[in-house]
Amino acid sequence: MIQISPLGERILFALSRYKYLTPSHLVKLGVSPSIESTRRELRKLKDRGFTWRLASSSVPPNLKANLVAKRVRNEDLNYLTEKGAKIFAEETRIDLRDLRYPKRIKTTLSNDYFHRVSSISVHIAYRQWLDRHDFEPVDELLYYDKRAKFKSLKSTIETRVELKDGGSKTPDLIFGYENAKGQGRVFVVEVYNGARTKYIEEQTQEMLEVLQETTELSDRVGVKKLPRVLITCEDEGRVARAVERIKQNSFFDFDRIGQMLLFNTAPDVWDDFGSGWVNLFGEVSKLEDL
Q: Give the model confidence (pLDDT) of 191-229 as tens digits.
A: 999 889 999 999 999 999 999 999 999 999 999 999 999
The pLDDT assigned to 67 comes to 45
pLDDT band for position 82 (cuts 50, 70, 90):
very high
Question: Considering the domain boundaries, does residue 189 fall inside one?
Answer: yes
pLDDT tens profile 151-199: 889 899 999 999 888 889 999 999 999 999 999 999 999 999 988 999 9
Contacts of 53 (CB under 8 A, 6+ apart): 42, 46, 76, 77, 78, 79, 107
Cα–Cα distance, 136 to 27 (Å, whole number): 24
Query: pLDDT above 70 covers what percent of the chain?
Result: 94
Q: In CATH, what number is assigned to the domain containing residue 41?
A: 1.10.10.10
Question: Considering the domain boundaries, does residue 72 fall inside one?
Answer: yes
Say if residue 168 is in the same domain as residue 137: yes
Q: What is the crossing angle of helices 113-133 and 6-18, to 10°?
A: 110
Q: In CATH, what number is assigned to the domain containing residue 199?
A: 3.40.1350
Domain boundary, last residue among 111, 132, 151: 111
Q: What is the mean pLDDT of residues 85-97?
A: 93
Number of domains the chain contains = 2
The pLDDT assigned to 151 comes to 85
* DSSP output for 204-269: HHHHHHHHHH--HHHHHHT--SPPEEEEEESSHHHHHHHHHHHHTSGGG-SHHHHHHEEEEEHHHH
Say if residue 97 is in the same domain as residue 132: no
Say if residue 274 is in the same domain as residue 147: yes
Cα–Cα distance, 44 to 40 (Å, whole number): 7
Question: Considering the domain boundaries, does residue 140 fall inside one?
Answer: yes
pLDDT band for position 108 (cuts 50, 70, 90):
confident
pLDDT band for position 72 (cuts 50, 70, 90):
low
Q: What is the mean pLDDT of residues 27-52?
A: 96
E-strand stretches of the chain: 51-54, 57-58, 72-73, 77-80, 136-142, 161-162, 168-169, 173-178, 184-191, 228-233, 261-265, 277-278, 284-285
Contact 215, 161 (CB under 8 A): no
Is residue 117 predicted with pLDDT exceeding 70?
Answer: yes
The pLDDT assigned to 152 comes to 86
Q: Which of 8-22, 58-72, 121-135, 216-230 has the lowest mean pLDDT?
A: 58-72
pLDDT band for position 69 (cuts 50, 70, 90):
very low
User: Residue 68: what are its φ and ψ, rounded to 5°?
Assistant: -100, 5
The pLDDT assigned to 103 comes to 84
Domain range enclosing 71: 6-111
Is residue 28 predicted with pLDDT exceeding 50?
Answer: yes
Question: Considering the domain boundaries, does residue 1 fall inside one?
Answer: no
Question: Considering the domain boundaries, does residue 92 fall inside one?
Answer: yes
Q: Indicate the pTM of the whole model.
A: 0.93
Q: What is the mean pLDDT of residues 71-82?
A: 85
Residues 239-263 as b/e (b if ≥16 CB within 10 A, e otherwise) read: beebbebbeeeeebeeeebbebbbb
Say if residue 51 is in the same domain as residue 34: yes
Say if residue 183 is in the same domain as residue 270: yes
Say if residue 102 is in the same domain as residue 180: no
* Mean pLDDT, the chain, integer: 92
The pLDDT assigned to 60 comes to 57
Contact 210, 169 (CB under 8 A): yes
Is residue 70 predicted with pLDDT exceeding 60?
Answer: no
Say if residue 239 is in the same domain as residue 127: yes
Say if residue 159 is in the same domain as residue 67: no
Say if residue 134 is in the same domain as residue 262: yes
Query: pLDDT above 90 covers what percent of the chain?
Result: 79
Query: What is the DSSP secondary structure assignment for residue 31, as one 8-state letter?
Result: S
The pLDDT assigned to 58 comes to 61
Contacts of 129 (CB under 8 A, 6+ apart): 135, 272, 273, 274, 287
Say if residue 62 is in the same domain as residue 157: no
Say if residue 104 is in the same domain as residue 124: no
Contacts of 290 (CB under 8 A, 6+ apart): 185, 228
User: Residue 148: what are its φ and ψ, rounded to 5°?
Assistant: -60, -25
Cα–Cα distance, 95 to 111 (Å, whole number): 32
Domain boundary, last residue among 88, 111, 134: 111
